[in-house]
Amino acid sequence: MPKFDYSLHYAELDLRARPDLYRVGVGEQGVLLVQPYKSELLPHWRFATPDVARQSSETLYHMFLDYLAADDFVGADMARKFLQMGFTRARRYANHKGGKKYAGPVPADKRGQSGAHGRPELPRTPEDPVKAESARIFKAKWDQAEANEQYAEMKKAHKAQYG
Cβ atoms of 10 and 25 within 8 Å: the answer is: no
In a domain, 59, yes or no: yes
Does any domain span residue 56?
A: yes
- The pLDDT mean for the chain works out to 90
Within a domain: 145 = yes
Q: What's the domain range around 155?
A: 47-100+126-163
Residues in the chain: 163
φ, ψ for residue 42, nearest 5 deg: -55, -40
With respect to residue 29, please indicate whether it lies within any of the assigned structural domains: no
pLDDT per residue, tens digit, the chain (163 aa), is 568 889 999 989 999 999 999 999 888 999 999 999 999 999 999 999 999 999 999 999 999 999 999 999 999 999 999 999 999 999 998 988 877 777 777 776 666 565 666 777 777 778 889 999 999 999 999 999 999 999 999 999 999 999 8
Number of domains in the chain: 1
Is the residue at 11 inside a domain? Answer: no
Residue 15 located in a structural domain: no
Task: Look at residue 20 and tell me if it is in a domain.
Answer: no
Give the tens place of pLDDT for each residue, 31-76: 999 999 999 999 999 999 999 999 999 999 999 999 999 999 999 9
DSSP 71: T
3-state secondary structure of 96: coil
Do the domain assignments include residue 147? yes
